[in-house]
Amino acid sequence: TRLLRPELRSLEPYQALESPEQIAARYGLDPARLVKLDGNENAEGPSPGALAALGAVTPHRYPDPEQRRLREALAGHLGVGPEAVVAGAGSDELIDLVIRCVAGPGDRVVVAPPTFGMYAFDSRQAGAEVVEVPRREDWSLDEEALVAAARGARLVALASPNNPTGGVAPRALIESLLESGALLLLDEAYIEFTKERSMAPEAASGAPLVVLRTFSKWGGLAGLRVGYAAMPPELDARLMVVKQPYSVSVAAEAAALASLGDRALLDERACALVAERDRMARALAETGWLRPHPSSANFALVEVTGTPAGGAPTGDAGRRLYEALRRRGVLVRHFETARLQRCVRISAGRPGETDALLGAVAEVAASGELEGTEGER
């Protein structure tokens, strides 16, 4: 490791999802029968048009390095010019690209945890200092502290809606951050599940703003890895120079273009997922020992506030529920951070998947396995 840059020698790995096959093997389950509610994927999958487009790709040819058709289509979708749009292999590539181009050793990047871990992960890889402005107890943003931190920073990364807490950033805060002197990286990965207006036009008009979007959630293309961003044209031009030329595959491009032609259907599916999220949240709240926090995305952060028998929750209550559901073939997400120890994040799924989740929760409650002792808290 002596040949590595110093900041990379102790870098902790990003905690990505474990594959369904690994989980099934560990618990002796059938992978085909797992209820996957851990990745915030769109359970309906790609649109019919996207599936048809995938069958017509020519995989032996390289994609267009200039992304001309895709950038034109994305620009029309966002209401901006194509010179302000870049596509990438998921928004993850674009997060990494923007941070590497803007922040380096000695620079500060501000994040508001708990939030998507990729912002801090990529910033540390770039050698930047990560400045954390923790969210309040109700998961709202500490707006005054965030703006103050931004004034001495190179970049501020903010998700709206936020993952994993589900809240939307106030527009007034965004405006204040745009006046702070830092570049604002605004992640709108879940905006299609809200009624919020995108800030993409402001980014394209030259504000110190990069707006991230993705086809992983709304479009059901998580496995194809295609995201996009709107930004000032001058920054866009430099990113097109720095980025890998063929990072968006011909399959991903074809599916993304077709998805834009199926917007009405995908919007209907997004509304159905929101309705299913709300049904799930109501049912979990009725247990009396689970508390879903308000969410504007296709998931809910659920806090274990007690035990099914009426006792106080153990300190590791979130992990215990996560493991108990896994043993029953229902996959949810748990985060190994202090403030989320009693929480799990549950993605909205199809009605049958919600029913399976609720059935598994009832089984866990009846089993008594979440009942802990005072010494375990």
Identify the structural domains of the chain with CATH numbers, from first to last.
6-44+265-367 (3.90.1150.10), 48-262 (3.40.640.10)
- Residues 160 and 186: their CA atoms lie apart, in Å, by 7
Which pLDDT value is given to residue 373? 56
- Residues 220 and 47: their CA atoms lie apart, in Å, by 7
Report yes or no: 50 and 220 within 8 Å, Cβ to Cβ: yes
User: Which residues face 155 on adjacent strands?
Assistant: 109, 183
Q: How far is CA 356 from CA 33, 37, 331, 363, in A?
A: 11, 11, 11, 11
Radius of gyration of the chain (CA): 21
- Residues 39 and 31: their CA atoms lie apart, in Å, by 16
pTM over 0.75: yes
Q: If you write DSSP's letter for every residue of 298-360 in order, what string do you get?
A: SEEEEEE-S-TTS-PPPTTHHHHHHHHHHHTTEE-B---SGGGTTEEEEE---HHHHHHHHHH
Report yes or no: 326 and 23 within 8 Å, Cβ to Cβ: yes
Which of 252, 250, 248, 260 is closest to 224 using CA atoms? 252
Strand ranges of the sheet holding 343-347, from the earlier edge strand across to the other edge: 290-292, 299-304, 343-347
- Residues 300 and 278: their CA atoms lie apart, in Å, by 9
Which tokens is 266 given? 């995908």
Task: Spell 161-186 as b/e; 16+ CB within 10 A means b.
Answer: bbbbbbbbbeeebbeebbebebbbbb
- Residues 132 and 51: their CA atoms lie apart, in Å, by 41
Q: How far is CA 249 from CA 85, 147, 206, in A?
A: 17, 38, 29
Report yes or no: 61 and 250 within 8 Å, Cβ to Cβ: yes
Query: pLDDT tens digits, the chain, 377 residues: what are they?
Result: 788 988 888 888 888 899 999 999 999 999 999 999 999 999 999 999 999 999 999 999 999 999 999 999 999 999 999 999 999 999 999 999 999 999 999 999 999 999 999 999 999 999 999 999 999 999 999 999 999 999 999 999 999 999 999 999 999 999 999 999 999 999 999 999 999 999 999 999 999 999 999 999 999 999 999 999 999 999 999 999 999 999 999 999 999 999 999 999 999 999 999 999 999 999 999 999 999 999 999 999 999 999 999 999 999 999 999 999 999 999 999 999 999 999 999 999 999 999 999 999 999 999 999 987 543 43
Give every CB contact of residue 358 below 8 A, 6+ residues apart in sequence. 280, 283, 284
Which pLDDT value is given to residue 2? 82
Which of 274, 268, 266, 275 is closest to 194 using CA atoms? 274
Which of 176, 155, 169 is closest to 96 using CA atoms? 155
- Residues 200 and 6: their CA atoms lie apart, in Å, by 37
